[in-house]
C-alpha cells in the first residue's frame, strides 16, 4: 500500500451549510498526520480546469460558521464521461494528489467511484440538504435547511392566520420528501405532500380545508415538496374550489444558504476528520455515514445500491398531529 502524502478535497453538486466545517476538518486532520492538502475548486469542473490550491491550517480558519462552500461547487457533465474521468485522474497524478475527499450527494459519489477506478483513492462525505442518501441517517446541511425553512414557514403562518388564508409552502428536496416531512411536523402543517406518498387527489385536500374552516381554523398550511411542485397552479385550483383565498410561497434557495446549525458543524467536523483518517489509512472507494448512532463507512457501490423510504410511522404520526 503506497503511503498517502497529499490529499485533495472538493465539494460537488448543490452546496450545503456545513460543507466548510467538513473541508476544515479534512484539512486540519490530514495536516496533523503530516499529509499535505490541496483544495480543488468548483467540484469536478475545477479538477478538470486544474483549479487547485494548497490548503494550510490558516486557510480554513474563520470558515466553520459560514454557509455555502469556500471551495465553490459545480455540476460538471464532462466528468460523467470516461474521457473526463481519465483526465481527472491524470490531473490528480500530475499534482501529486494520492487521494481525494469528495463532499456531495449520490451523483458526486459516482464521480468518486470513477476516480477510484482510475487509481486515485477516494472517500465520499454525504453533503446535501435533501437527506436523500440511503446509507446514512444524516447528511450535511439538512439540519440547517429544515431550521431555516421552519422559521420561514412560521412567518408565513402569521400572515396566513391574520388574513384567514390557505397557504401552500413549497420546500426543496429534489425527489425526496424529507424536508417536507420534517417541516410539516415541526410547523404543525394541516397537510403534508410528499413525492413518495402523495396520491394526487386534490379533492382530499379541498375537503380537509373546508372541514377545518367549519371548525373555525383561521389558517391552513400545506407543505408541498419540490418533487411534487406546481404550488402556484395548485393554489389557484384550491381557491376556486373552496372560495378561500389561497397563496403559494416557494421558499427556494434561501433553504440552502446561511450559517450552519451546531448539529451541522459538529457532524460535518467529525465526518471530515473520519474521511481524512480512513483515506490516510489507505481505504478507498468508501463513503462516510452516520448509521445506528455511529460514524461508519461503506463501499460506494454498496452505499449506492441501498434504498431508503420515508419512515412509515413518522409519516403516519404527521397525519394524526
Q: Examine residue 256 and tell whether it contacts ligand F6P (CB under 6 A).
A: yes
Q: Examine residue 110 and tell whether it contacts ligand ADP (CB under 6 A).
A: yes
Q: Examine residue 128 and tell whether it contacts ligand ADP (CB under 6 A).
A: yes
String marking each residue 161-200 x if it binds ligand F6P according to CB under 6 A = -----------xxx--------------------------
Closer CB to ligand F6P, residue 11 or residue 128?
Answer: 128
Q: Examine residue 178 and tell whether it contacts ligand ADP (CB under 6 A).
A: no
Closer CB to ligand F6P, residue 88 or residue 227?
Answer: 227
Q: Examine residue 80 and tell whether it contacts ligand ADP (CB under 6 A).
A: yes
Give, as ranges, the residues between 226 and 245 that touch ligand F6P (CB under 6 A). 226
Q: Examine residue 13 and tell whether it contacts ligand ADP (CB under 6 A).
A: yes
172 binds, among ligand F6P, ligand ADP, none (CB under 5 to 8 A by kind): ligand F6P
What residue spans of 187-248 are helical by DSSP H?
A: 202-214, 231-242
What the block records as the C-alpha cell of 98 is: 494520492
What the block records as the C-alpha cell of 140 is: 450535511
68 binds, among ligand ADP, ligand F6P, none (CB under 5 to 8 A by kind): none
What the block records as the C-alpha cell of 265 is: 458543524
Phi, psi (rounded to 5 degrees) for 296? -135, 175
Counting every residue written for the chain, the total comes to: 321
Q: Examine residue 79 and tell whether it contacts ligand ADP (CB under 6 A).
A: yes
Taking the CA atoms of the chain, what radius of gyration do you get in angstroms? 22
242 binds, among ligand F6P, ligand ADP, none (CB under 5 to 8 A by kind): none
Q: Examine residue 111 and tell whether it contacts ligand ADP (CB under 6 A).
A: yes
Residue nearest to ligand ADP (CB): 107
**CA angle at 191 for the pair 185 and 195, rounded to the nearest 5°:** 90
Out of 108, 148, 242, 249, point to the residue binding ligand ADP (CB under 6 A): 108
256 binds, among ligand F6P, ligand ADP, none (CB under 5 to 8 A by kind): ligand F6P
Q: How would DSSP label each residue in 125-189?
A: EEEETT---TT-S--EEHHHHHHHHHHHHHHHHHHHHHTT-EEEEEE--TT--HHHHHHHHHTT-
The Cα–Cα gap between 308 and 139 comes to: 13
Do residues 171 and 225 touch, judged by C-beta distance below 8 A? yes
Out of 98, 106, 130, 264, point to the residue binding ligand F6P (CB under 6 A): 130
The Cα–Cα gap between 182 and 149 comes to: 10
110 binds, among ligand F6P, ligand ADP, none (CB under 5 to 8 A by kind): ligand ADP
Catalytic residue among 98, 106, 130, 264: 130
Closer CB to ligand F6P, residue 133 or residue 205?
Answer: 133
What the block records as the C-alpha cell of 82 is: 470516461
CA 158 to each of CA 74, 155, 180, 185, 232: distance values in angstroms, whole numbers, following the listed order:
37, 5, 19, 17, 20
In terms of Cβ atoms closer than 10 Å to its own Cβ (0-12, 13-18, 19+), residue 130 is buried
Is 130 considered catalytic here?
yes
Q: Which residues are catalytic?
A: 130
Per CB under 6 A, residues contacting ligand F6P are 14, 128-130, 172-174, 226, 256
Per CB under 6 A, residues contacting ligand ADP are 12-14, 44, 75-76, 79-80, 104-108, 110-111, 114, 128
Amino acid at each position: 500500500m503506497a503511503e498517502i502524502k497529499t490529499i485533495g478535497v472538493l465539494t460537488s453538486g448543490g452546496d450545503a451549510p456545513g460543507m466548510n466545517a467538513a473541508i476544515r476538518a479534512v484539512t486540519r486532520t490530514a495536516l496533523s498526520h503530516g499529509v499535505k492538502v490541496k483544495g480543488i475548486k468548483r467540484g469536478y469542473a475545477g479538477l478538470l480546469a486544474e483549479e487547485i490550491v494548497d490548503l494550510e491550517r490558516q486557510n480554513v480558519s474563520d470558515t466553520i460558521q459560514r454557509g455555502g462552500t469556500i471551495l465553490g461547487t459545480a455540476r460538471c457533465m464532462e466528468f460523467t464521461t470516461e474521457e473526463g474521468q481519465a483526465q481527472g485522474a491524470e490531473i490528480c497524478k500530475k499534482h501529486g494528489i494520492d487521494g481525494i475527499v469528495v463532499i456531495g450527494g449520490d451523483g458526486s459519489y459516482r464521480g468518486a467511484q470513477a476516480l477510484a477506478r482510475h487509481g486515485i483513492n477516494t472517500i465520499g462525505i454525504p453533503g446535501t440538504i435533501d437527506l436523500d442518501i440511503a446509507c446514512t441517517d444524516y447528511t450535511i446541511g439538512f439540519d440547517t435547511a429544515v431550521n431555516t425553512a421552519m422559521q420561514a414557514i412560521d412567518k408565513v403562518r402569521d400572515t396566513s392566520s391574520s388574513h384567514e388564508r390557505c397557504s401552500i409552502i413549497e420546500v426543496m428536496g429534489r425527489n425526496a420528501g424529507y424536508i417536507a416531512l420534517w417541516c410539516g411536523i415541526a410547523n404543525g402543517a394541516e397537510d403534508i405532500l410528499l413525492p413518495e406518498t402523495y396520491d394526487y387527489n386534490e379533492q382530499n385536500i379541498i375537503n380537509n380545508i373546508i372541514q377545518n374552516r367549519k371548525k373555525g381554523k383561521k389558517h391552513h398550511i400545506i407543505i408541498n415538496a419540490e418533487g411534487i411542485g406546481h404550488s402556484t397552479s395548485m393554489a389557484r385550483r384550491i381557491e376556486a374550489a373552496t372560495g378561500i383565498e389561497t397563496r403559494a410561497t416557494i421558499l427556494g434557495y434561501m433553504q440552502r444558504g446561511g450559517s450552519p446549525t451546531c448539529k451541522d458543524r459538529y457532524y460535518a467536523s467529525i465526518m471530515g476528520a473520519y474521511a481524512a483518517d480512513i483515506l490516510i489509512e489507505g481505504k478507498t472507494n468508501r463513503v462516510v455515514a452516520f448509521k445506528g448512532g455511529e460514524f461508519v463507512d461503506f463501499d460506494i457501490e454498496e452505499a449506492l445500491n441501498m434504498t431508503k423510504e420515508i419512515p412509515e410511522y413518522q409519516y403516519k404520526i404527521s397525519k394524526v398531529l
